[in-house]
Chains A and B, each alone.
Chain A
Amino acid sequence: MADKNMTTMSDRNLQSITTSQRVKSILGKAGIYLFLGIMALIVLFPFYWMIISSLKNLSEYRKAIPTFWPHEIQWINYVNAFNTANLGRLFLNTLYVGVVSTILSVIITVITAFAFARLEFKGKELLFAMLLATMMIPGELFTITNYITVVNWLEWGNTFTALIVPFLVSVFYIYLLRQNFLQIPNELYLAAKVDGTSDIKYLWKVMVPLALPTLISITILKMMGAWNTYIWPKLVTTDKEYELITNGLRNAFTDTSGQADIPKQMAAVAIVSAPLFLVFLFLRKYIMAGVSRSGIKG
């Protein structure tokens, strides 16, 4: 009798503990979702504000009580922004610099990484260590001399060459791809050699396909770099004909005060941001993989 009583009591205790624990864990989960939801809204808010502001007319934008959805959608802001900042020209310039520098840069990265990963030569380890050491130095230190080299000596001021050539070699990309190449078994290379396959054919048919994810990451980051670069183009190009998108945007809308035509500015900003978002939408995996290993922006 007493025994029976004991068991039912402990059963009841156990039950109340599990329900209280369950309530606690549900509340905890709800708290986590609430926190993440609020943070996500804060993170997204600037994008939302950019888009709705870009669709308002000036008088609606200046209303004392802000509207959270435009009364009358003003697509004309986008047309005006496109024409004011001459965005078509800027897009073409940036695309040209981005594509040419990405292609050349990827070729150089592939052959250099191949040499470091597969070929034997004197001083290989030392040379590679020296390359890695240069990554510690902030880019500003190079920029000063490169400016003199490019503008005063090579006389490349106001050319696309000046925007492309100094940044073709990225030690970090070489390092990344070499690590990737090293994972491919050397036996494949030796077998190809026995068959009389040339290095270039082997690279193209075996190494490149196997390292494709890394190469895609490199390509996207390099293109994004061209899209976001600001300081170097500003230094070496003064001619509007060679202006890149970021500089063009900043130069076309110098006034950030409240008196400016903000809806038009926001439309321009949205146009400039759109390609980045589209690329991100489709190639998210590669971008995030590349970024998590590099820690660099552009």
Chain B
Amino acid sequence: MVESKQQWKAWLYLAPAILLLLVFTVWPIINTVSMAFQEDYCAQRALMGETYEIGIENFKKVLDYGNFVDYLTNTMILCVATVPISTILALLIAVALNSIKTLQKGLQTIFFLPYVTNSIAIGMVFAAMFNVIGFRKAGGEALADSWGIINNVIMFFGGKPVDWIGANSSLAANRFVVMVYSVWNALPFKILILLGGLQSINKQYYDAARVDGTPRARVLTKITIPLLSPMLAYVVITGFIGGFKEYSSIVGIFGDTMGPNDMNTMVGYIYKALSTQKQGAASAAALILFGIILVVTLINLRVSKKRVHY
């Protein structure tokens, strides 16, 4: 009797969560897959009874036309460049933080600060830093009131100022700005995880290395990195997943127009298709994104299986 009463009670407790999950999680999985395979599916017209041909036309269209492939390349380049840089920097900072006692807590807090920010808001700050201020052309000669703080630093070291995000900026310059912002944005989480990992490594390994007089660099490559490899694999995988879903930081820097060179990404493509009532294309693109994330994660897991020491 107690048993059956518990059954009944359990389902009562679970009811709100299950109901919401059915509507906003389970149904979307089914419906999105089904929309992806109906040619040119449009929800508004479907509601009025329009029917669609079944097939893989949406996928073909997404891949053949439009800017999806450009956006995919864009996303890939950002991922491949920023994940290794931010991981290596985070590793160095975490190792350095772990080796000091004074100021450790304070510095750790500083390095975590970028995490507690609004990505649109700080994107606007990065735009302000990279911007050329009051740019104007006078008699064919480009002039500016101020080259902006980043260009000021570059010129201080003898470099030439660059139009980073202005109307005539190049795609490479735009990408560079987004990469700098992405690395800055990705550091706090990676440092937090890696430092947590470092602090759980058994001190005896380091004591043994000190007795043997092992140099610092060798300690890093032979002890720290192997023992930290599960955490490294974790931050690399989550870094790639986050990178493939990059969107709002770019909106922060360039605004909704995505800048002069259309810096849009895959997620941006999905939302554009969705808000222009092309749900079929949006669904197909979302499934492609899911597929890519799955493949990248599996590759990462495979590679780390060979390299990770547990």
Taking Cβ atoms with an 8 Å cutoff, the residues of A that contact B are 28-29, 32-33, 35-36, 39-40, 42-44, 46-47, 49-50, 53, 61-66, 108, 111-112, 114-115, 119-122, 124, 127, 131, 134, 136-138, 140-149, 152, 165-169, 171, 174, 199, 224, 227-228, 230-231, 235, 245-246, 249-250, 253-259, 262, 265-266, 269, 272-273, 276-277, 279-280, 284, 287-288, 291-292, 295, 297
Min CB distance, A210 to chain B, in Å?
18
User: Do the beta carbons of B129 and A64 come within 8 Å of each other?
Assistant: no
22 pairs, CB–CB < 8 Å, chain A vs chain B: A33-B103, A36-B107, A39-B89, A43-B114, A46-B126, A64-B145, A66-B146, A115-B14, A124-B10, A136-B294, A138-B290, A140-B271, A145-B31, A148-B43, A165-B20, A231-B247, A250-B252, A258-B134, A258-B135, A258-B145, A287-B116, A295-B189
User: Do the beta carbons of B125 and A49 come within 8 Å of each other?
Assistant: yes
The residue among B109, B117, B267 with the most chain A CB atoms within 10 A of its own CB is B117
Query: Contacting A235 at CB < 8 Å: which of B35, B93, B254, B274?
Result: B274
Q: Does B128 contact A (CB under 8 A)?
A: yes
Taking Cβ atoms with an 8 Å cutoff, the residues of B that contact A are 3, 6-7, 9-11, 13-14, 16-17, 20-21, 23-29, 31-32, 35, 43-44, 47, 89, 92-93, 96-97, 99-100, 103, 107, 109-122, 124-129, 131-135, 144-149, 152, 165-167, 184, 187, 189, 192-193, 196, 216, 234, 238, 241-242, 245, 247-248, 251-256, 267, 270-271, 274-275, 279, 282-283, 286-287, 289-290, 293-294
Query: Contacting A147 at CB < 8 Å: which of B119, B248, B255, B274?
Result: B274
Q: What is the CA–CA distance of A144 and B148 in the complex, to the nearest angstrom?
A: 40
Query: Contacting A148 at CB < 8 Å: which of B9, B116, B279, B287?
Result: B279
Min CB distance, A243 to chain B, in Å?
13
The residue among A134, A169, A277 with the most chain B CB atoms within 10 A of its own CB is A169
Q: What is the CA–CA distance of A24 and B255 in the complex, to the nearest angstrom?
A: 50
User: Do the beta carbons of A36 and B100 come within 8 Å of each other?
Assistant: yes
Q: Evaluate whether A227 and B20 lie within 8 angstroms (CB atoms) in the complex, with A33-B100, A257-B166 already known.
A: no
- List residues of chain A with CB within 8 A of the CB of B23: 149
Q: What is the CA–CA distance of A169 and B149 in the complex, to the nearest angstrom?
A: 44
User: Do the beta carbons of B192 and A141 come within 8 Å of each other?
Assistant: no
Q: What is the CA–CA distance of A105 and B89 in the complex, to the nearest angstrom?
A: 36
Q: Evaluate whether A168 and B20 lie within 8 angstroms (CB atoms) in the complex, with A49-B129, A148-B43 already known.
A: yes
Query: Contacting A266 at CB < 8 Å: which of B128, B145, B189?
Result: B128
User: Do the beta carbons of B275 and A235 come within 8 Å of each other?
Assistant: yes
Q: Add 8 more A-B contacts to A246-B121, A249-B120 (CB < 8 A).
A: A36-B96, A61-B133, A63-B145, A63-B146, A250-B251, A265-B124, A266-B128, A276-B116
Min CB distance, B93 to chain A, in Å?
6
Query: Contacting A166 at CB < 8 Å: which of B24, B122, B255?
Result: B24
- List residues of chain A with CB within 8 A of the CB of B96: 32, 35-36
User: Do the beta carbons of A144 and B131 come within 8 Å of each other?
Assistant: no
User: Do the beta carbons of B32 and A144 come within 8 Å of each other?
Assistant: yes
Q: What is the CA–CA distance of A297 and B111 in the complex, to the nearest angstrom?
A: 16
- List residues of chain B with CB within 8 A of the CB of A146: 24, 28
